[in-house]
């Protein structure tokens, strides 16, 4: 195998496919990057759960394929001195990398040891503008349950397509995040994508409106993003019946400036840390929100104004959960809907179209 390519194109490709390379595996080839030289250069990283592949232009003199150790190869190509790179491999899997006056010799692995990645040839498909998908993932990923939550299905985000509407839903037992957009899709479908996969998709997407095409099979999904393919397994299980978790009615509605609320919650939360955890208490009355927190290291109080309708209320919540919801609203103002001190807090945009909907469960206050 022998080929020539542009250094920057190779660096970008290696940096992105590396995100799917396994850090530690019983299969040594999974700790490397598969390189296949044909009419172009194909690169792939795969950890048996998520794979990332791409093709870049190359002048291929001798076709072939090999697996190169990820960290070592990545460190080398990032530090090459010239714009052009020459890579050659012999029958014994010895690799020579040249750029300018620099030359490296490393040992690769057989491509036959690299597991075949799954494909989706008979699945359903639809597309979403890249910037829209990026925003939807960003506004729901924070509510995905951690891997040790005991509910594997909730460690991913539900994708629900119906009536030309795409809805992303994440839940972790203490909060719920829903984001909705109109899409062009002729078929209805539901599937759950692991949070880890969506974190990598978020890094690959940009603020452009170019489409991301998704092909969805029974067990896997393939997302095509700007020359990259992200292949991921889907999660099995019964996802929360989230519609039943959304409060049907509220007795108090508040319209508040998002930045003011964030700043006040952050100030009052200064007496809380990872070791000392105390709920933040909010009292809603006469168009004001009084925030307070008391812990073993001190106490704090603050007051902000709002537009309020309905009964006065007092409710306690985890300050970090509230901050995550407020920061991911990406709106200058939000509306808080409250039922009682033990009812979930519902956070929606002021327009009332519920493009996003966040729910934060309250904390029971000590009498």
**Phi–psi pair at 309, nearest 5 degrees:** -135, 135
What is the pTM for the complete model shown?
0.91
Element (H, E) at 137: helix 130-138
Residue 92's pLDDT band (boundaries 50, 70, 90)? very high
**pLDDT digit string, tens, across residues 193-245:** 999 999 999 999 999 999 999 999 999 999 999 999 999 999 999 999 999 99
Report the percent of the chain where pLDDT is more than 70: 99
As a whole number, the mean pLDDT across the chain is 93
Task: Provide the 10 A C-beta neighbour count for residue 77.
Answer: 22
Query: Computed over its alpha carbons, how large is the radius of gyration of the chain?
Result: 25
Q: Token pair for residue 11?
A: 């660096």
**Phi–psi pair at 366, nearest 5 degrees:** -75, 135
| Residue 150 reports pLDDT greater than 90 | no
End-to-end, the C-alpha distance of the chain in Å comes to 74
Strand partners, 34: 44, 67
**pLDDT digit string, tens, across residues 273-297:** 777 678 899 999 999 999 999 888 8
| Residue 329 reports pLDDT greater than 60 | yes
């Amino acid at each position: 195998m022998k080929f020539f390519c542009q250094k920057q194109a190779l660096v970008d490709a290696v940096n992105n496919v590396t995100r799917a390379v396994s850090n530690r595996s019983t299969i040594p080839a999974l700790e490397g990057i598969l390189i296949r030289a044909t009419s172009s250069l194909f690169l792939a990283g795969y950890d048996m759960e998520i794979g990332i592949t791409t093709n870049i232009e190359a002048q291929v003199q001798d076709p072939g394929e090999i697996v190169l150790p990820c960290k070592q190869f990545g460190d080398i190509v990032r530090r090459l001195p010239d714009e052009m790179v020459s890579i050659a491999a012999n029958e014994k899997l010895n690799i020579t990398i040249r750029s300018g006056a620099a030359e490296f010799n490393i040992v690769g692995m057989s491509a036959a040891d690299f597991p075949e990645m799954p494909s989706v040839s008979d699945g359903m498909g639809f597309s979403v503008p890249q910037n829209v998908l990026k925003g939807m993932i960003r506004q729901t990923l924070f509510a995905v349950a951690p891997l040790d939550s005991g509910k594997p299905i909730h460690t991913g985000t539900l994708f629900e397509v119906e009536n030309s509407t795409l809805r992303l839903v994440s839940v972790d037992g203490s909060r719920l995040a829903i984001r909705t957009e109109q899409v062009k899709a002729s078929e209805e479908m539901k599937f759950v994508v692991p949070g880890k996969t969506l974190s990598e998709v978020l890094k690959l997407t940009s603020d452009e409106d170019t489409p991301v095409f998704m092909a969805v099979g029974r067990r896997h999904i393939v997302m095509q993003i700007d020359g990259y393919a992200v292949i991921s397994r889907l999660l099995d299980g019964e996802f929360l019946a989230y519609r039943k978790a959304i409060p049907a009615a509220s007795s108090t509605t508040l319209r508040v400036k998002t930045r003011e609320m964030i700043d006040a919650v952050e100030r009052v939360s200064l007496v809380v840390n990872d070791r000392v955890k105390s709920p933040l208490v909010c009292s809603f009355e006469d168009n004001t929100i009084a925030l307070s927190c008391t812990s073993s290291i001190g106490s704090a109080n603050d007051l902000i104004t709002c537009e309020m309708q309905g009964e006065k209320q007092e409710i306690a919540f985890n300050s970090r959960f509230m901050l995550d919801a407020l920061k991911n609203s990406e709106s200058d103002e939000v509306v808080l809907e409250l039922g009682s001190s033990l009812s979930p807090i519902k956070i929606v945009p002021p327009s009332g179209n519920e493009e996003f909907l966040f729910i934060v469960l309250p904390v029971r206050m000590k009498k």
